[in-house]
């Protein structure tokens, strides 16, 4: 049996393992690579996935970093079953459509840029809404704990991962030439104390455990304080008659905030004249799916929510689907609470709300999730004085709150607790889905606590297994990390600088206005170079 790591190896996004066993080739997850342009280039490397030679995909959950490349594979010839839970099917169907819409919009805007510059061959969208719709037809659902045999010799079972609605761990029992090997893919593991979903389950003992390590280097601080912190932000902005903005991911996080608002309403700390807007079409659709799958929710949470068709209904809760309704939120005065995407303020309606409220003393911005390096969200939590939105600098006068208790991922101690029975029983542990720093820290803690050495595969690594023994490990370093040609670029910069210097005498004889124009352009270059050096 062979396993290849096509994503989420020494990084968080692009989850995908390709397995070859029992004469079949199949994937566990097929997520989008997200990050800088070099990482995102991996999304276009479709041949590496060989979609026509792929017999099936097992999908652990609906998040785009696990599901987001499937429509691209479908567009390039994949036509096998995609196995997942029923709630994952429902959520992935709307999330892939949304992702396709974003791809199309981005491609359109790039196309315009290319046209304006007179360039040819603008990049095509990764996939289209048609591809996403087609992908949804390949879903085959299985309930948690239901053992099914997609191919002779391969038995699969989903266990609750407690991460988002429908999220699963995948337990595979593979029998080849009389030898049985068991593999457990954790998917993303949730926090045991999360509000909405149930606690992560323990699947049966396994020869191999592939464990996510997003928060491998830290615990979530002050988890229990989330409700109070949100209450504080609301009280602050309500008293100042300003808005509370919550940038939030559409799925799970938005619903978790709605649950928290129910708790606050029960406690009497939600002002009855403060309207709440869920201002995200995707979040609105996702919330409806949560209502349809209320049986999957944590029993305690279900007791807090309503019994009606919309479990999140509150007297002052409004869902704003259309762009006009969204804009109207900005023209109304008085306190309000607005939940909108994107979660890291990189796109979406939240950016319009930030433009309207960020500069107002008395407003609050409440961050409830991970903010990646370089995003507007990260800049705000790092106390930026100004933020550029729609090409305009906006001063930051609003109060910034960061609430840690809403993370969808288990923290370090929780991962170790979950892992304990497997580590004690002698499973081989493989760490995936984490930044190098988090993975190295988790590996060290695993060794300290269980005296077990976990392995950390690299991107494109191929591992051959026979029963519980690893027979070979092949790395493809040059393909995974193509060498950066510094010599060429550095020489080009120096050559062009010399060309500029050679022309300087001539420039000095030009009219003053022309000289000022060249000076301004050079100053811009100098500014970018200074900024680049400062960031090194
Ligand atoms: Zn996830
Ligand atoms: Zn993930």
Cα–Cα distances in Å, from 378 out to 34, 207, 259, 372?
16, 39, 25, 6
Distance CA 513, CA 517 (A): 6
C-alpha 167 to ligand 1 mean position (Å): 8
- What's the CA gap between 297 and 195, in Å, rounded? 9
61 alpha carbon – ligand 1 mean position (Å): 7
Distance from Cα 104 to the centre of ligand 1, integer Å: 23
Compute, in angstroms, the gap from residue 325 CA to the centroid of ligand 2.
Answer: 32
Ligand nearest to the CA of 432: 2
Which pLDDT tens digits describe the chain residue by residue (536 residues)? 999 999 999 999 999 999 999 999 999 999 999 877 888 899 999 999 999 999 999 999 999 999 999 999 999 999 999 999 999 999 999 999 999 999 999 899 889 999 999 998 888 999 999 999 999 999 999 999 999 999 999 999 999 999 999 999 999 999 999 999 999 999 999 999 888 999 999 999 999 999 999 999 999 877 677 888 899 999 999 999 999 999 999 999 999 999 999 999 999 999 999 999 999 999 999 999 999 999 999 998 999 999 999 999 999 999 999 999 999 999 899 999 999 998 899 888 999 999 999 999 999 999 998 787 778 998 999 999 999 999 899 999 999 999 878 888 999 999 999 999 999 999 999 999 999 999 999 999 999 999 999 999 999 999 999 888 899 999 998 888 888 889 999 999 999 999 999 999 999 999 999 999 999 999 999 998 998 898 88
- Pairwise CA distance, residues 62 & 136, whole Å: 12
The residues near 366 (Cβ < 8 Å, ≥ 6 apart) are 229, 230, 233, 244, 245, 246, 401, 402, 403
Question: Burial, 30: exposed, middle or buried (Cβ in 10 Å; 0-12, 13-18, 19+)?
Answer: buried
- The residues placing their C-beta within 5 Å of ligand 2, an ion, are 65, 188
Q: How many CA atoms lie within 13 A of 67 on its CB side?
A: 30
Per-residue CA distances from 254 to 11, 82, 403 (Å): 25, 27, 14
Can you give 319-331 as a three-state secondary structure string? ECCCHHHHHHHHH
Question: How is 450-483 classified by DSSP, letter by letter?
Answer: H----B-PPTT-EEEEETTEEEEEE--HHHHSPP
- How many angstroms does the Cα of residue 192 sit away from the middle of ligand 1? 15
Q: How far apart are the first and last CA of the chain?
A: 43
Question: Residues of 236-253 as b/e, b for ≥16 C-beta within 10 angstroms?
Answer: bbbeeebbbbbbbbbbbb
Q: How far is the CA of 490 from the centre of ligand 1 (A)?
A: 40
**E strands within 52-202?**
56-58, 82-84, 139-141, 148-151, 154-160, 168-176, 179-185
Are 88 and 197 in contact by the 8 Å Cβ rule? The answer is no
- Please give the distance, rounded to the nearest whole angstrom, from the Cα atom of residue 214 to the centre of ligand 1: 10
Classify residue 178 by burial, with Cβ atoms within 10 Å: 0-12, 13-18, 19+. exposed
Q: pTM of the entire structure?
A: 0.89
Token code pair at residue 464: 């051959």
Say how many Å lie between the CA of residue 313 and the centre of ligand 1: 26
Distant-in-sequence, close-in-space partners of 451: CB < 8 Å, separation ≥ 6: none
Ligand nearest to the backbone CA of 167: 1
């Amino acid at each position: 049996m062979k396993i290849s790591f096509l994503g989420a190896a020494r990084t968080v996004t692009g989850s995908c393992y390709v397995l070859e066993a029992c004469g079949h080739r199949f994937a566990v997850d097929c997520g989008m690579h997200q990050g800088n342009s070099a990482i995102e280039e991996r999304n276009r490397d479709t041949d590496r996935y060989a979609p026509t030679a792929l017999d099936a995909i097992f999908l652990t959950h609906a998040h785009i970093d696990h599901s987001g490349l499937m429509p691209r594979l479908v567009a390039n010839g994949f036509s096998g079953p995609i196995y997942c839970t029923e709630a994952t099917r429902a959520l992935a169907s709307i999330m892939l459509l949304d992702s396709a819409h974003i791809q199309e919009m981005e491609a359109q805007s790039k196309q315009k840029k290319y046209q304006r510059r007179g360039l040819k061959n603008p990049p095509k969208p990764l996939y289209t809404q048609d591809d996403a719709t087609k992908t949804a037809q390949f879903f085959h659902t299985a309930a948690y704990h239901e053992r099914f045999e997609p191919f002779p010799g391969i038995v699969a079972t989903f266990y609750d991962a407690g991460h988002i609605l429908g999220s699963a761990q995948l337990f595979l029992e593979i029998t080849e030439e009389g030898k049985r090997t068991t593999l457990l893919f954790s998917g993303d593991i949730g926090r045991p104390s999360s509000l909405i979903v149930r606690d992560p389950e323990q699947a049966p003992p396994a020869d191999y455990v592939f464990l996510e390590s997003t928060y491998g280097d830290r615990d979530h601080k002050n988890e229990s304080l989330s409700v109070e912190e949100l209450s504080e932000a609301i009280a602050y902005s309500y008293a100042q008659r300003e808005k509370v903005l919550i940038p939030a991911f559409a799925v799970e996080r938005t619903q978790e905030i709605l649950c928290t608002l129910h708790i606050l309403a029960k406690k009497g700390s939600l002002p009855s004249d403060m309207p709440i807007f869920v201002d995200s079409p995707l979040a609105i659709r996702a919330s409806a799916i949560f209502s349809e799958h209320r049986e999957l929710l944590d029993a305690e949470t279900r007791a807090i929510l309503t019994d009606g068709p919309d479990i999140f209904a509150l007297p002052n809760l409004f869902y704003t689907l259309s762009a006009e309704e969204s804009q109207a939120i900005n023209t109304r005065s008085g306190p309000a609470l607005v939940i909108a995407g994107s979660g890291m303020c990189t796109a979406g309606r939240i950016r319009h709300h930030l433009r309207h409220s960020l500069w107002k003393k008395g407003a609050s911005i409440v961050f409830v999730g991970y903010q990646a390096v370089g995003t507007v969200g990260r800049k705000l939590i790092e106390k930026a004085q100004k933020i550029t939105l729609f090409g305009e600098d906006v001063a930051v006068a609003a109060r910034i709150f960061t609430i840690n208790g809403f993370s969808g991922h288990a923290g370090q101690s929780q991962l170790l607790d979950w892992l304990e029975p497997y580590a004690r029983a002698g499973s081989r542990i493989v760490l995936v889905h984490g930044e190098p720093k988090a993975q190295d820290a988790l590996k060290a803690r695993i060794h300290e606590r269980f005296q077990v050495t976990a392995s950390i595969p690299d991107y494109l690594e191929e591992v051959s297994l026979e029963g519980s023994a690893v027979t070979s490990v092949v790395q493809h370093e040059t393909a995974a990390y193509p060498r950066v040609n510094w010599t060429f670029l550095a020489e080009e910069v120096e050559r062009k600088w010399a060309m500029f210097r050679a022309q300087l005498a001539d420039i000095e004889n030009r009219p003053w206005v022309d000289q000022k124009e060249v000076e301004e352009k050079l100053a811009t270059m100098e500014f970018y170079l200074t900024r680049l050096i400062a960031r090194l």
